[in-house]
Amino acid sequence: MTARSAMAARSMMRGRSAMAARSMMRGRSAMAAGLLAAACVAWSALPLAGGGPGIVILAVASACALLSVLRLALGAAPAPAADFVNPAISGLRTLASLARSLPSAEVMVAAVLVLEALHRSRPWQTGLLGAAVLAYLFATHLAESGARASVLRPQVSLIAAGLGLLVLAVGAAMLPAGTGSPAVLLAVLAAMAAVVVGGLILPV
Amino acid sequence: MPADPVPAHPVPIDPGPAGSGPADPGPSGPRRGQPAAAAGARRRGLAWSLSPHAMRLITLALTGLTIAVLTRRPEFAGVAAPAVLLLAVRRPERPDAITVSTRLTRASVIENEQAELSVTLAGQGDCVADLLLHPRYAVVPEAPSGSRLPFRVTRSGRRSLGALEIRLWDRWRLATARVTADLPVIDCYPRPAPQQTRIVLSRLPSRLGEHPSRSAGEGMEFTGVREFVPGDRQRRINWPATTRRGRLQLNTFAAERTQNVVIIADASSDVGQPGATPADLALRGSAAAARAYLAVRDRVGLVVYQQGVRWVAPGLGARHYHRLMDLMLADATLTGPLSRGPALMTRLPRAALPPGSLVLVFSPLLDRRMVETVRDLRERGFPVVIIDVLNAEPPGRNDSLSGLARRIWRMEQEAIRFSLRELGIPLVRWDGEQSLDGPLAPYTRRVMVSRR
């Protein structure tokens, strides 16, 4: 074996190992996202309340959780056109493109929060659900971009601050209502923050 | 005898214009092993938009805050708080444009050889870039490592690599921008099949080479002993024979001659499995034969028959090998038919087919004109050897009518081959997987008698 071919073989091995490591990392993130989605849906659904609308929202949340996991499993690469000769494969490809195009993760997050709001749960349970939803969003992002978890390092301080606010909010909710109404004040602050977030949707 | 070093990889030389006639070698391109010239750095504008991650965070924040307001439950505002913080953070200024430059680490490759595309980005600031190669036909991308995108080209020809998608993320991965860049064209040469042995003719032209001929000369191969005559070199005196006979005896040696070899590559039938069609096999076999004969300083010419006829007159040396490879590349692009109609081999000038040349034909014999050409060459006295590269059958259903048609087709093919054998043309089959030495063994073990 010449030096050139040995070098090419080593380079190929490195490339394959890098590809395997990348796909393994993507698979782990997708698996974590799937588990977190299932946990969020189950946590927000129990005990099921709201009657018919509750069941509908639960069905929507479950379907969206499945679709989001399917989307992560399929990846973003479109299939080559030569595979479309078989009708069965063509149907599967259509389903896959549908799973890719639907905003399943967004709908699932909204449905889970609505389900949680439908029944009177304890504040710490809602706080735990919020942390799980946030973890699900980050796992989904890592799985679809194929990035390492270290890319989130610049955001660690902000995430920690946000979780701190979550704990404060949960603590405020657990305080017994006294003179004044902290919940009303919080609602006003929340409305202002909603305006801020709405402004962020504008083109950046 | 040390062989003339013929590199395994050709040097890219710009081919002449497509069409019939001799290939123009053109100016030498960049040497293999040296980096190819970098594609011009291009500045490309960026259109930033919210990333899918940001959209999901906005959904979480809006839903949480809305529920908090409607239900007056502050814990939902807490659920929205991390998302609000992440979205409301002050963002550094994002670049409006970046400069993308791509460079191939090799200007040319051979089939299934790995090459790399090096991508350099400038002006991206602290944004993170993901590179994704969208390959074209016969280009197989492999796992990228940083800014290097390795790939392989599976079929010979002048191949466009495709497009490069660059996705930029800001530091918080909340905004993203996409840029697409067209990639350069790479020359992929056929991978020569293994071949160590060669066919040597009994009649060789009187030109110095490496094949021992029947006539006496100044070669290395001992042929006999004769009596010394004045003027002979004294160092060739055979002293044991001189002692036995009592008169001065001299060793005689065979003259070493070269031969002219003309390879005809019939790449007109691109049928069957892509990458293993008769055209692919013909080009790989031709490359192997050219390398094997040039290694022993034979003069090798090439005639490529595809949509037209292109040829290179016999020559020798490493540079000539590259010229032959470029001729194959010029016809292996498969980009469409040439404007001129197919010409006949009989119109080739004497320079392309020197009298007495050994003619090796790599062909599936599916084109009647090629069959007639081979017959014509044999009748003109050329020693011809056909390497049959037909490895595919017409596709069809498994019903009786298709089976009957296939049988008739097979019988026609057998009849064509039988008629060629009857003319005294050796015909061997080669499947493209084994070495060429096996099929050609009956003709490489001894000299091939050339009749006129």
Same domain, A158 and A124: no
In angstroms, the CA B259 to CA A181 distance is: 105
Which tokens sit at A189? 């602050």
Same domain, A160 and A83: no
In angstroms, the CA B200 to CA B293 distance is: 10
What tens digit of pLDDT does each residue of B155-177 get?
A: 888 888 888 888 888 877 888 89
| Percentage of the residues of chain B whose pLDDT score is greater than 90 | 26
Q: Is the pLDDT of residue B29 over 60?
A: no
**A150 neighbors B42 (Cβ within 8 angstroms):** no
B81 in reach of chain A (CB within 8 A): yes
What tens digit of pLDDT does each residue of A98-115 get?
A: 777 788 888 999 999 998
Residue B214, number of CB atoms within 10 A of its CB: 13
Size of interface A-B (CB pairs under 8 A): 188
Q: Across the strands, what pairs with B150?
A: B116
Which residues of A are less than 8 Å from B60 in CB distance?
Answer: 109, 113, 133-134, 137
Q: Is B151 helix (H, G, I), strand (E, B) or coil?
A: strand
In angstroms, the CA B438 to CA B225 distance is: 36
φ, ψ of residue A67 to 5 degrees: the values are -65, -40
CB–CB contact A197 B71 (8 Å): no
B165 in reach of chain A (CB within 8 A): no
CB–CB contact B65 A159 (8 Å): no
In which domain, by residue range, is A187 found? Answer: 151-172+181-204
Could you tell me if residue A196 is inside a domain? yes
Could you tell me if residue A9 is inside a domain? no
Q: Which chain A residue's Cα is nearest to B148? A: A15
Torsion of CA B399, B404, B410, B414, to 10 degrees: 160
DSSP letter string, A13-57: HHHHHHHHHHHHHHHHHHHHHHHHHHHHHHHHHSSP-SHHHHHHH
Q: Which chain A residue's Cα is nearest to B57? A: A137
pLDDT at B244: 94
Q: Is the pLDDT of residue B328 over 50?
A: yes
Same domain, A136 and A156: no
Measured between CA atoms, how close is A92 to chain B, in angstroms?
22
Could you tell me if residue A5 is inside a domain? no
Measured between CA atoms, how close is A123 to chain B, in angstroms?
6
Q: Is the pLDDT of residue B338 over 80?
A: no
pTM: 0.68
Considering only residues B384 and A13, tell me which one the structure prediction assigns the higher pLDDT.
B384
Nearest to B74 among A163, A173, A198 (CB): A173
Could you tell me if residue A1 is inside a domain? no
Q: Across the strands, what pairs with B28?
A: B13
Q: Which chain B residue's Cα is nearest to A172? A: B74
CB–CB contact B77 A123 (8 Å): no
> Comparing B84-88, B221-225, B354-358, which segment has the lowest mean pLDDT?
B84-88
Measured between CA atoms, how close is B96 to chain A, in angstroms?
12
Could you tell me if residue A29 is inside a domain? yes
Q: How many domains does chain A have?
A: 2
Q: Is B427 helix (H, G, I), strand (E, B) or coil?
A: strand
pLDDT at B281: 92
Q: Is A83 helix (H, G, I), strand (E, B) or coil?
A: helix
In angstroms, the CA B167 to CA B178 distance is: 5
| Burial category of B243 from C-beta neighbours within 10 Å (exposed 0-12, middle 13-18, buried 19 and up) | exposed
> What's the average model confidence in pLDDT over A191-198?
63
Distance of CA B243 to the CA centre of its chain: 59
Which tokens sit at B441? 């063994």
Could you tell me if residue A3 is inside a domain? no
Which residues of B are less than 8 Å from A167 in CB distance?
Answer: 78
What tens digit of pLDDT does each residue of A140-176 get?
A: 888 887 777 888 887 888 888 888 888 887 877 777 6
Reported residue count of chain A is 204
> Comparing A1-15, A106-120, A190-204, B165-179, which segment has the lowest mean pLDDT?
A1-15
Same domain, A28 and A122: yes
Reported residue count of chain B is 452
Q: Is B167 helix (H, G, I), strand (E, B) or coil?
A: strand
What tens digit of pLDDT does each residue of B349-394 get?
A: 778 888 889 999 999 999 888 898 899 888 888 899 999 999 888 8
**B150 neighbors A8 (Cβ within 8 angstroms):** no
Considering only residues B451 and B212, tell me which one the structure prediction assigns the higher pLDDT.
B212
pLDDT at A188: 61
Nearest to B143 among A18, A113, A154 (CB): A18
Residue B430's pLDDT band, with cuts at 50, 70 and 90, is very high
Considering only residues B13 and A1, tell me which one the structure prediction assigns the higher pLDDT.
A1
In angstroms, the CA B54 to CA B48 distance is: 12
B74 in reach of chain A (CB within 8 A): yes
What tens digit of pLDDT does each residue of B108-140 get?
A: 899 988 888 888 888 888 788 888 888 888 888
Could you tell me if residue A7 is inside a domain? no
